[in-house]
Amino acid sequence: MSEPVSAPEPETGSQLVHGALVSWSRGQQVLHATPETYLDVVSGLRADGFDMCADLCAVDHLAHPARSLPDGVVAERFEVVVNLLSLEQRTRMRVRVQVPEPDPRLDSLFGLYPGAEAMEREVFDLIGVRFDGHPDLSRILMPEDWEGHPLRKDYSVGRVPVQFKAAPSTR
């Protein structure tokens, strides 16, 4: 069998889609929205046939501030990454948004993709990014009285001791 041949990736950062800069990663188009244009960019993609939000997650780049971004995109500590699918076109689109540390917040995608509700709650719970317009932005994995966001890189490790129960005897 022959190896699949992929087309060369187009130039990065020179193209705009729905007002967002474009880059390419492993043959996939990536849009770089700003917090202000995020909802408009995703709304435009929804109208283009990207009818499924497959994933929404966040990254804390505290330890790695230098990363590959197109010219004109300012790196921030937090980044929200959304993966959209067009089932009809059989294609994916990734949207990356740099979220500033002092007030980490974005508009909620719940109105466009109701299935994003739990994913946004998980990002809020573990990283601390707030989603404006979310119907129930409460903790989903940690107890309601938990302090902090455990996936932040500056979160203290080992605050809660692990408790093991005794293994059953085999005799």
Please report the sign of the dihedral spanned by the C-alpha atoms of residue 134, residue 136, residue 138, residue 141: negative
Cα-based angle 142, 82, 3 (whole degrees, multiple of 5): 120
Spacing of C-alpha 160 from chain mean position? 27
The reported pLDDT for the residue numbered 7 is 45
Q: Which stretches of 2-122 are assigned E, i.e. beta strand?
A: 16-17, 20-25, 28-33, 52-60, 78-86, 91-99, 105-107
Q: What angle do CA 91, 52, 113 make, to 5 degrees?
A: 150
Q: 16-63+70-107: CATH homologous superfamily? A: NADH:ubiquinone oxidoreductase Nqo5 subunit (3.30.460.80)
Q: Which residue positions in the chain have pLDDT lower than 70?
A: 1-14, 158-164, 171
Residue 79 near residue 139 (C-beta atoms within 8 A):
no
What pLDDT digit, counting tens, does each position of 145-164 carry? 999 999 999 988 765 556 66
Measured distance CA(37)–CA(20) in Å, rounded: 8
| Predicted local confidence at residue 126, as pLDDT | 96
How much is the CA Rg of the chain, to the nearest whole Å? Answer: 19
* CB 18, CB 45: distance < 8 Å: yes
> Cβ-count burial of 170 within 10 angstroms (0-12 exposed, 13-18 middle, 19+ buried)?
exposed
Residue 166 pLDDT: 73
* pLDDT at residue 2, rounded to an integer: 40
Task: Give the whole-angstrom CA distance, residue 121 versus residue 110.
Answer: 11
